C-alpha cells in the first residue's frame, strides 16, 4: 500500500513541475560526473549546451540515444556545443555506461534537483526520469525544450536547432 501511495504521489507531482519556456534563463546547477568531478553549468556560458535527460543507463532506448549523440559528437563539437547526459544513476553506473559504449561526453548524476529545476517528470511508479532534453543558448537561456524525444532521431533535430542558434 505504501509503495502504491508513493507511486501515485510521484505520478501526480509530475503534473505540478514548472515547465521551462524559450528565452528563460536556464536553471544553474552543479553535479558530479561519472568520475566524481563537479560540473557547473555556468562554466559553459558562451557555448550551446545540450542536456539530455534519460531514464536509465544500459536500457535499450537510452543506449540508442546516447550512442546517437556519440555518433554525431564531432558535428556537435564542430558547432561549439557541449553535451551532457543526465539521469539518476550513480557515478559507477555512468562510468560503466561510458566505457561500454565509448561515450565522449560526461554523464551527470542527478539527485533529483536538476530534473526538478528543468521540469522533467518521472515515469509513474518507477522514480526514473522521462526522456526529455533542453537546449541552452550561449547566453545561458533556454532555446528549446524537447518533450517528445525519439532516441534514434533526436540528435539530428538538436543539430539543426544548434545551427539555427549560431546563424
Question: What residues are annotated to the active site?
Answer: 62
SS3 state of residue 112: coil
**Residue 132 grid cell:** 526529455
Phi/psi of residue 117, nearest 5 degrees? -60, -30
Please tell me the distance from the alpha carbon of residue 53 to that of residue 3, in angstroms, as a whole number: 25
Please tell me the distance from the alpha carbon of residue 133 to that of residue 148, in angstroms, as a whole number: 9
Regarding beta strands 49-53 and 82-87, do their DSSP bridges make them parallel or antiparallel, or are they unpaired?
A: parallel
* Count of other CB atoms within 10 angstroms of residue 131: 22
Please tell me the distance from the alpha carbon of residue 138 to that of residue 160, in angstroms, as a whole number: 16
Strand order across the beta sheet in which 142-146 lies: 106-109, 82-87, 49-53, 132-136, 142-146
* Cα 160–Cα 62–Cα 45 angle in degrees, nearest 5: 50
Amino acid at each position: 500500500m505504501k509503495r502504491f501511495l508513493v507511486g501515485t504521489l510521484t505520478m501526480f507531482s509530475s503534473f505540478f513541475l514548472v515547465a521551462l519556456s524559450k528565452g528563460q534563463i536556464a536553471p544553474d546547477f552543479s553535479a558530479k560526473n561519472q568520475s566524481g568531478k563537479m560540473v557547473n553549468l555556468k562554466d559553459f556560458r558562451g557555448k550551446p549546451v545540450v542536456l539530455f535527460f534519460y531514464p536509465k543507463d544500459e536500457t535499450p532506448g537510452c543506449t540508442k540515444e546516447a550512442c546517437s549523440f556519440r555518433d554525431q559528437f564531432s558535428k556537435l563539437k564542430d558547432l561549439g556545443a557541449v553535451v551532457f547526459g543526465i539521469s539518476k544513476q550513480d557515478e559507477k553506473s555512468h562510468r560503466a555506461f561510458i566505457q561500454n559504449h565509448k561515450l565522449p561526453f560526461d554523464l551527470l548524476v542527478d539527485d533529483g534537483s536538476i530534473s526538478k529545476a528543468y521540469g522533467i517528470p518521472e515515469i509513474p511508479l518507477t522514480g526514473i526520469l522521462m526522456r526529455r532534453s533542453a537546449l541552452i543558448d550561449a547566453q545561458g537561456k533556454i532555446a528549446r525544450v524537447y518533450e517528445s524525444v525519439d532516441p534514434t532521431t533526436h540528435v539530428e533535430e538538436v543539430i539543426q536547432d544548434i545551427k539555427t542558434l549560431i546563424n
